[in-house]
Amino acid sequence: MGSSLLVLLLWYIFPIIVFLASDYIVTIFKLKQRFNLKTPDITVPFLIVGMHEISKSISSFSILPYFLLTILLLGIGVVVFQTYRYREIMYGRFFKMFWRLTFLLSVLVYFALIVASIISLF
């Protein structure tokens, strides 16, 4: 039980480590100037892996398929919003908005899983 608790604690601090490491990578390789990439853009895939691991540790299934379905619905929502608002879909604007909203959703779901994990420990 002790080693599984240690691994779970590692997943709790994982987003902070990934965010700091991503910020370091963006700064060192000047990704913002070259490709207009920011720290949240790099962090999303790592948060998705973390969500998968935490959800497997607190239940018998992974939240990953449901999260991917939610991301697909988010993409549809962004397309509908941009079509209504701008009367056109600009791919650059779409992908930027979609990916940044995916980051926000990932952070919210990740921290909700952390809270659920802490509650399940007691």
Q: Structural domain tally of the chain?
A: 1
Q: pLDDT tens digits, residue range 23-76?
A: 999 999 999 999 989 999 999 999 999 999 999 988 889 999 999 999 999 999
68-101: b (≥16 Cβ within 10 Å) or e: eeebeebbeebeeebeeeeeeeeeeebeebbbee
Predicted pLDDT at 83: 95
Measured distance CA(2)–CA(9) in Å, rounded: 11
Enclosing domain of residue 116: 2-121
Burial of 108 (0-12, 13-18, 19+ CB in 10 A): exposed
